Amino acid sequence: MILKVVKYGNPVLRKKGAKIDSITPAVKKLIADMFDTMYDARGIGLAAQQVGEALQLTVLDVREVVDRPSTLEINGKPTDVKEFMPLVLINPELIPSGKTVAGPEGCLSFPEIFADISRPEMVDVVALNEKGEKIEFRAGGLLARAIQHENDHLNGLLFIDRMESDTKADLQPDLDELQAATKSALKKK
Ligand code: ZN
């Protein structure tokens, strides 16, 4: 089922996600719906906050992006990223590493707003998958960027918080407009 994507200005985007204790049928349904919603919106990642649920849960799939490579290592061995997709991360813990690199980002909660964001180029991840099994891996490239972007959502952080101040100043009128539109739509409910 395709869910409505929450837009900037909705307070749920600023909520830290609660840990998920067990993979209940409701969590399984939410994961399936989040994938439907993400693919429908042609996104590569979606956090639970973006469908109105403040939980430590995100879904990702970078297979559609061919011009921005991703890397993956499991137990130190390079592994096929495609085989690892789609990816569900529950209660993820991240250790970013490597040099900081700037790259373009967008966000389904900020339609038509894009900016270069600087983030560490690699990230070590420990999380649970959709079966509640522990997974550990190191991601690089686009996947590392996407995971860090989604993990920020799980902590109530948004990519505008990581923009250069000049970039954010340029986008501020668009951001203010989006925030106002979201708030007025929420009031009407
Ligand atoms: Zn986002």
In this predicted model, what pLDDT tens digit does every residue of 99-148 receive, in sequence order? Answer: 999 999 999 999 999 999 999 999 999 999 999 999 999 999 999 999 99
> Would you give the distance in Å from CA 156 to the centre of its chain?
11
Residue 6 placed within a domain: no
pLDDT of residue 150: 98
Residue 1 placed within a domain: no
Residue 163 placed within a domain: yes
Count: domains in the chain: 1
Q: For 64-113, how does the pLDDT look when each residue is reduced to its tens digit (9 = 90+)?
A: 998 999 999 999 999 999 999 999 999 999 999 999 999 999 999 999 99
- Full-prediction pTM beyond 0.85? yes
177 is catalytic: no
Question: 86's torsion region: left (phi>0), alpha (psi -120 to 50) or beta?
Answer: beta
Residue 48 placed within a domain: yes
What are the φ and ψ backbone dihedral angles of 105, each rounded to 5 degrees?
Answer: -135, 150
Q: Give the chain's mean pLDDT.
A: 97
Range of the domain at 143: 11-188
| Centre of ligand 1 from the C-alpha of residue 110, in Å | 8
CA–CA separation, 153 vs 49, rounded Å? 7
Residue 88 placed within a domain: yes
Residue 2 placed within a domain: no
Describe the strand order of the beta sheet including 70-74 as a list of residue ranges: 45-47, 57-60, 87-107, 110-128, 134-140, 70-74, 77-78
CATH classification of the domain holding 167: 3.90.45.10
| Centre of ligand 1 from the C-alpha of residue 133, in Å | 25
Residue 181 placed within a domain: yes
Is the pLDDT at 189 greater than 90? The verdict is no
Catalytic residue among 53, 105, 130, 150: 150
Residue 86 DSSP symbol: S
Residues with Cβ within 8 Å of 142's Cβ and at least 6 positions away in sequence, in order, are 44, 62, 65, 68, 69, 70, 103
Residue 150 placed within a domain: yes
| Centre of ligand 1 from the C-alpha of residue 24, in Å | 25
The model's confidence at residue 23, banded by pLDDT at 50, 70 and 90, is very high
| Centre of ligand 1 from the C-alpha of residue 115, in Å | 12
Calculate mean pLDDT across residues 13-39. 98
| Centre of ligand 1 from the C-alpha of residue 106, in Å | 7
